[in-house]
Chain A
């Protein structure tokens, strides 16, 4: 081997040690290039443009937009309704997951497949369907008015109803695997140690499920905050009352207020990024402590 040859081998090896472990499998360069260029072109550069545009508005204006009563009201609604929906889903998601995993009933597999409906159904379709159901003259809206004197559609409650629909599969799908294979032998151990079923459920099973439940609820919450299509039909979109944050962006865009739209967008991006970080940190901590999520 010539001297320059061995030199280049050494340089290449040093390069590998620095940033990639050697492998005999081919195609790293090509696949890495496709992935990173697509990611840059489709996601990162566009998001950078958003940050750039928002930053270009200047500190004073950013603060003014971020703290304007209308923005604050929209954010309060988006987060408040998302939190209410997450709470409902935490309770009923647990019940549904329990029924699906632990009980056998006719059509169980069908019901299980249907849980993913909110993932698969286009949001606009969900939006008009929920509105038709919960409007004052709808199947459920009329009953709600008759029995409780409550108005659901075109109020913040309507927003929460839509967000329950959107978040349901996140919660159920997060809990199911843990209920399925996590606690069986532990439950048997608890029963053999003389615990009543109620005690086993609340002291052994639920604590086991808790990390997965929290993860699912957090995912549902994060999705709900940014949700648009299924909400705008049922929300009524009254400024300061039932106007969600994503709609504020659309309205600003329609008024050609690009900077204003960018500021609200960047604000929401920052919030959802923090939520993502929090979920990851929580999962990492849970994995360290319990060995699973």
Chain B
């Protein structure tokens, strides 16, 4: 497999604070990769380091087989979309997009007619035809975002980097733009890296998701793989809802309390373990892990029942259909039993 971007063992500190602690990542040509993590996890630092905007203390970055160390910002040919877009406030949309082409050294600069044609084509691509003469202050958030994208694409970047591309937009615009960006990526096929703290956004949009925590890469993989086989308790809890049971793993079997037995346990854990269970993988049952109902509320089309159990850390949340007989019986204070269909085991 050829690679478009290689990050090797990258290290970066801000004063005493380690922002990146040896991060390595390979990105294939045309791939759309999400950098997902909570704030302070190092995801934006990683993105800015790839762009050359942060100088790192250790490790290296390669574009294809070219070492980027010591490469000037202009020679990197990176398309970067800033979180707040960083549009040039004194230039209109057209001039913003044309900037990268006009900034080329005289010998490599395309003639003015070609610049016009290319900028128009890009503005068409991002569906902003007719807004060429608007200044950034006269554009909506979504429109600014698309000007920023067209501007980044104008220099025919080797890699496209987006910092929280939907962070500053409201929910409806976010959803539309997300779908639109995925379509655009399919059409243009740029190798793309984007930063987000929203797991839903990462899982929905990216070919692969790289999860960062405390400056370390916890897991890289396709969304399904990460959701189905999280590499750590952090990944499991960060990528979706999970209930945490306390149990033991011995020889591929997990037990919760004395009674409940869960076969076909995967993972390297032996002995005491934290067993993380998605809400879809736990259900009310006539026997199993004991608990007491502490709350119930509407959750979309169904019911969500909250249960306290001596074998769980925190509240266990169980989804049920409103017409389910066990769910109807599960009034607050009632004793119930839980059946766990599947769990991810991690060291306790």
Contact = CB atoms under 8 A, between A and B. Distances in A.
Interface of A: 1, 9, 13, 22, 24
Nearest to A22: B55
Closest 8 CB pairs of A and B: A22-B55, A24-B53, A24-B73, A24-B52, A13-B57, A24-B55, A24-B54, A9-B70
A279 B145 CA distance: 45
Nearest to A6: B69
Interface of B: 52-55, 57, 69-70, 73
A24 B54 CA distance: 7
9 contacts: A1-B69, A9-B70, A13-B57, A22-B55, A24-B52, A24-B53, A24-B54, A24-B55, A24-B73
A1 B71 CA distance: 13
A13 B56 CA distance: 10
Contacts of A22: 55
Nearest to A16: B55
B186 to A, nearest CB: 32
Main SS at interface, chain A: loop
Contacts of B53: 24
Contacts of A1: 69
Given A13-B57, A24-B52, A24-B54, 6 more contacts: A1-B69, A9-B70, A22-B55, A24-B53, A24-B55, A24-B73
A22 B53 CA distance: 10
B311 to A, nearest CB: 47
A1 B52 CA distance: 19
B54 to A, nearest CB: 8
A25 to B, nearest CB: 10
Contacts of B54: 24
Contacts of B57: 13
Contacts of A24: 52-55, 73
A20 to B, nearest CB: 12
Nearest to A13: B57
A25 B57 CA distance: 18
A69 to B, nearest CB: 56
Contacts of B69: 1
Contacts of A13: 57
A13 B57 CA distance: 8
Contacts of B52: 24
A18 to B, nearest CB: 13
A9 B69 CA distance: 11
A1 B70 CA distance: 11
Most chain A CB atoms below 10 A, which of B55, B70, B73: B55
A6 to B, nearest CB: 10
A9 to B, nearest CB: 8
B71 to A, nearest CB: 12
Contacts of B73: 24
Contacts of B70: 9
A24 B69 CA distance: 13
Which one of A1, A9, A13, A24 has the greatest number of beta carbons of chain B within 10 Å?
A24
Nearest to A5: B70
Nearest to B51: A24
A241 to B, nearest CB: 58
A9 B67 CA distance: 15
A239 to B, nearest CB: 58
A9 B70 CA distance: 10
Nearest to B52: A24
A1 B54 CA distance: 21
A264 to B, nearest CB: 46
A24 B50 CA distance: 13
A24 B48 CA distance: 11
A24 B76 CA distance: 13
A177 B68 CA distance: 48
A22 B15 CA distance: 11
A1 B67 CA distance: 10
A13 B11 CA distance: 14
B325 to A, nearest CB: 53
